Amino acid sequence: MRENLESLRNSDEELYASITNEEQRQRDGIELIPSENYAFPEVLAALGSVFTNKYSEGYPGRRYYGGQENTDYIENLARERAKSLFKCDHANVQPLSGSGMNQAVYLGLLNPGDTILAMDLSHGGHLTHGAPVSHMGKLFNFVRYVTDPSDGSFDFDQILKDAKECRPKLVLCGYTSYPRDIDYERFKAIADEVGAISMTDASHFGGLIAGEAMANPFDYGFDIVTTTTHKSLRGPRGGMILCKEDYAAKIDKSVFPGLQGGPHMNAVAALAVTLKLAALPDFKRYADKVLKNSKTLANVFIKSDTKLITGGTDNHMLVIDTLKSYGIDGRMAEETLDKVNITTNKQIIPDDPNPPLRPSGIRIGTPAATSRGMRESDMERLGAWIDQCLRAPDDKACLQKVKKEVVDFCLQFPVPGLAS
């Protein structure tokens, strides 16, 4: 890999410089965006391999191009490993991203105009769960359910009532900004009651399901689980659709030729190795540490009377109401923490009165910091820094001091895949 980087240095100095700058940024800062992570070093190697060169439209044994003995092999490997890790009948490993993966499910199993019952976006649902600005939001009729922001609970009686009224074809749970686990049994019962397909979008916590730190929707009889492969799973950027046998043919057809052309076989190779690593005992320990770190960080904020949405966390993330806690909006909080090399992201909170680019909160997550080897005592330091900076966003001397401490602190934790 390094050799390839050297040749890049010779042919494009500017680009090479940007890569080394980004390496430095990743070394010198603490990554707390809950959807980000450091890919396994093996993933970077597979992504930069010659599988980048290959066209493989179709599926193993049924391709539209020749020369597929190795691509067939790795795609089968990835599919089998995914099935065994997530305990499901079928896996499609070709989606190029999380967004396309969800689109492939909707378009493959439903008709335009059909109703999908999904989580309200300000309560934690994702853009691809039918945001009005998204194409899917225009093609399908999304009906929303909400949570109680004080404890994160769902009013299942109300959701059932709504489901009986709107008769969804698909009941979708899963989130991008919600710090609690999901009661799959209740969601599955509601889907069954109205004859809908049950689906979980586990994009954020796919790795935590794989590491058995969080519940697996297939244990509750779910039909479909989608997950990105680059978040808690530490794989290449991409998506995966896992499903029961009944949906396998429709899902495969929907991904190709329905939505995509040639799969990115370098990403499929990288996913295969990710799934092998995620099945090892070490990854279970990792998933467990992610949650422990998240709880420890939450406790720092609880002690300092910071307002956390739902009052805490059961997963890898916290959502902080920065407006109520510190009197600053999420954008200012994000920018303040950027100044001290702590990366977070502004986030809309339940029923946020403010617009998405100036929302009332931020999201913080522990998957990346945990991959870097940070532990509970480190989370206490980290929480104290964040709290200190958000209380004094205009105190330049304070920010400067914290930044120096953060950079020094980072020296103890090599970035996976990067020489220190």
Ligand X SMILES: *Cc1c(COP(=O)(O)O)cnc(C)c1O
What residues line the site for ligand X (CB under 6 A)?
35, 97-99, 102, 126, 128, 174-176, 201, 203-204, 228
Catalytic residue among 23, 28, 36, 57: 57
Secondary structure of the chain: what % helix, strand, coil (to 5)?
Answer: 50, 15, 35
Helix 13-28 × helix 396-410 angle, to 10°: 100
Collapsed DSSP state (helix, strand, coil) of residue 173: strand
| Residue 345: partners with Cβ closer than 8 Å, 6 or more residues away | 33, 334, 362, 363
What b-and-e string marks burial along 89-124, b requiring 16 or more CB atoms within 10 Å of the CB?
ebbbbbbbbbbbbbbbbbbbbbeeebbbbbbbbbbb
Alpha helices in 29-68 (DSSP H): 41-47
**What strand order describes the sheet that includes 361-365?**
317-321, 361-365, 345-347
188 is catalytic: no
| Distance (Å, whole) CA 62 – CA 79 | 15
Closer residue to ligand X, CB minimum distance, 259 or 392: 259
Closer residue to ligand X, CB minimum distance, 211 or 383: 211
Collapsed DSSP state (helix, strand, coil) of residue 127: coil
Ramachandran category for residue 124: left, alpha or beta (phi over 0 → left; psi -120 to 50 → alpha): left
Closer residue to ligand X, CB minimum distance, 9 or 237: 237
Catalytic residue among 201, 223, 252, 378: 201
55 is catalytic: yes
Q: Which residue is nearest to ligand X (CB)?
A: 98
343 is catalytic: no
57 is catalytic: yes
296 is catalytic: no
- Could you tell me the smallest distance in angstroms from the CB atom of residue 267 to ligand X? 11
Q: What are phi and psi of 169, to 5 degrees?
A: -85, -20
Closer residue to ligand X, CB minimum distance, 203 or 344: 203
201 is catalytic: yes
Closer residue to ligand X, CB minimum distance, 170 or 323: 170
Catalytic residue among 115, 147, 227, 228: 228
Closer residue to ligand X, CB minimum distance, 182 or 390: 182
Closer residue to ligand X, CB minimum distance, 233 or 342: 233
CB 317, CB 177: distance < 8 Å: yes
* Residue 393 DSSP symbol: T
Q: In the structure encoding, which two tokens stand for residue 63, read together?
A: 């391709």
- Could you tell me the smallest distance in angstroms from the CB atom of residue 151 to ligand X? 21
- Could you tell me the smallest distance in angstroms from the CB atom of residue 96 to ligand X? 8
* Burial environment of residue 156 by CB neighbours within 10 A (0 to 12, 13 to 18, 19 or more): middle
Q: In the structure encoding, which two tokens stand for residue 285, read together?
A: 């320990």
- Could you tell me the smallest distance in angstroms from the CB atom of residue 343 to ligand X? 16
Closer residue to ligand X, CB minimum distance, 201 or 334: 201
- Could you tell me the smallest distance in angstroms from the CB atom of residue 176 to ligand X? 4
Catalytic residue among 16, 36, 55, 120: 55
Catalytic residue among 81, 180, 231, 244: 231
Alpha helices in 182-313 (DSSP H): 184-193, 206-210, 245-253, 265-278, 281-303
CB 27, CB 419: distance < 8 Å: no
- Could you tell me the smallest distance in angstroms from the CB atom of residue 188 to ligand X? 19
- Could you tell me the smallest distance in angstroms from the CB atom of residue 293 to ligand X? 19
- Could you tell me the smallest distance in angstroms from the CB atom of residue 172 to ligand X? 10
Catalytic residue among 9, 237, 253, 276: 237
- Active site (catalytic) residues: 55, 57, 201, 228, 231, 237
